[in-house]
Copies of this chain bind each other. A is one copy, B any other.
Amino acid sequence: MATDQTRTAILIAAERLYAERGFSDVTLRDIVAEANVNLAAVNYHFGSKDELIAELFVTRSIALNRERLRELRAAEDAGGGRAEIGAILRALVGPILRGCLGPANQRSPVARFMIRASIESVPPIRRIKNKEIDHLRKFAAAMKRALPESSEVDLFWGLHFALAMAHHTIRESERLTKLSDGQCDLDDVEDVIGRVVRGAVLGLTMRVPTAKSTQKVAAREAR
């Protein structure tokens, strides 16, 4: 089987095209053209189109989850076993945001593929996706350790909203740029991560502000 040249060429081409144009817009013929291989190669090496997609998704989601957990563990180690809430959420949303945003030339098809997969729910992926819940539970557990007084429901909502802000930012980055006339800088990934994490942390730790406290903040802001 030599070096699996054809196989990996197909994987790379497929990931690139799917990430760029979405699943429904990309045909096997597009993929084999991009990979410079024969049409029949896909069915020969993967069995079917769906199995190709499934393999891509499994590989990539394992890698993403591993990176997230790596950062979570690092944060927990740094905090002596208990990570603080901001660090936990940063481990959750950081990897995907770093992969999808930033200067166009250094964005990875990997991360963008995962976003596509989370958007266009094609059958082969839908079947696998349930496992992601187990993965998220680990973060929920870490959050519970960080904020033991918070109710479970609030923690789940916080986790959910953090992912919401991250994913939506990736998907609608173009619109946000247009809406803000370029004022919102989507290339500054760490700033974006900071905003997402901060938004989620505030939601988890703060009470709703009174009119007075809002004014105070505004006043401090103005100085």
Contacts and interface: CB of A to CB of B under 8 A. Distances in A.
Nearest to A185: B153
A3 interface: no
A168 B167 contact: yes
* Number of chain copies forming the complex: 2
A115 to B, nearest CB: 11
B119 A157 contact: no
Given A163-B168, A184-B156, A219-B149, A175 B133 contact: yes
Interface residues of A, number: 61
Main secondary structure of the interface of A (DSSP, over half): helix
Interface string A164-199: 110111001001101110011000000000011011
Contacts of A201: 208-209
A203 B24 CA distance: 36
A150 interface: yes
A82 B139 CA distance: 41
Given A160-B172, A179-B137, A203-B198, A184 B153 contact: yes
